[in-house]
Amino acid sequence: NEIELTKTEKKEESAQVEEESLTLFECFVKLKENKLEEAEKLFKQIQLKATPSEVIENDFVFLFYKYINGKATELEFKEIINKDISPSLKGIGYKYLWLSYNSTNQFAKAVNCLKQALETITDESEKCKIINNISQTYLESKEFEESKAIIINNLNNISEDSNKAELYYQLSKVYEE
């Protein structure tokens, strides 16, 4: 009888640990296996334990996973981005929408998405990252002149030396191509 009790306790402990260690990647795996309902169930469990800011970021990550698996649309991203959320969370939304477009070789949409993000974000360091991502997206689509132009046209808008250095480094990568 004592052995049975120990087994039951271990099973409960194991289930509790399993539940605590759920990750968004597990949702991705379920989506890859074409198990949408299971992925959404896991996602809801994850969201119950998330902080308010994590909830929105998790929404974007899960939408990204769904999008690249053909289970979500850009409208779902835009619905969240257009909500009354902070500019930094909007930036995260644009980043995952850009990744969605980029992952599915929709480069023109990816660039337009990042340009919208550039208008939304106020933090210079984040703007610099977005400019680099636009340049990189142009490179991936073999649009070398556009890749160069986005950096050159934005250099004067960047004041921090470290941010300028990042842009010059990206520019050097453009010239390497």
pLDDT in single tens digits along all 177 residues of the chain: 444 444 444 444 334 334 456 789 999 999 999 999 999 999 999 999 999 889 999 999 999 999 999 999 999 999 999 999 988 899 999 999 999 999 999 999 999 999 999 998 889 999 999 999 999 999 999 999 999 999 999 999 999 999 999 999 999 999 998
Tell me what pLDDT residue 21 has. 65
How many residues are recorded in the chain?
177
pLDDT at 171: 95
> What is the DSSP annotation of 94-133?
HHHHHHHHHHTT-HHHHHHHHHHHHHH---HHHHHHHHHH
Q: Which residues contact 97 (CB under 8 A, 6 or more apart)?
A: 60, 64, 74, 77, 78, 81, 113
In this prediction, residue 87 carries a pLDDT of 87
Q: Do residues 173 and 154 lie in contact, with contact meaning Cβ atoms separated by under 8 Å?
A: no
pLDDT at 1: 45
21-26 long-range contacts, Cβ below 8 Å, gap at least 24?
22/46, 24/58, 24/61, 24/62, 24/65
Is-contact 47 41, C-beta < 8 A?
no
Report pLDDT for 53: 80
Residue-level pLDDT at 29: 93
What pLDDT sits at residue 22? 76
- HSE-CB at 42 with a 13 A cutoff on CA atoms is 19
Q: Name the strand (E) or helix (H) holding 133.
A: helix 124-140
Whole-angstrom Cα distance, residue 112 to residue 106?
10
Could you tell me if 173 and 140 are in contact, meaning their C-beta atoms sit under 8 angstroms apart?
Answer: no
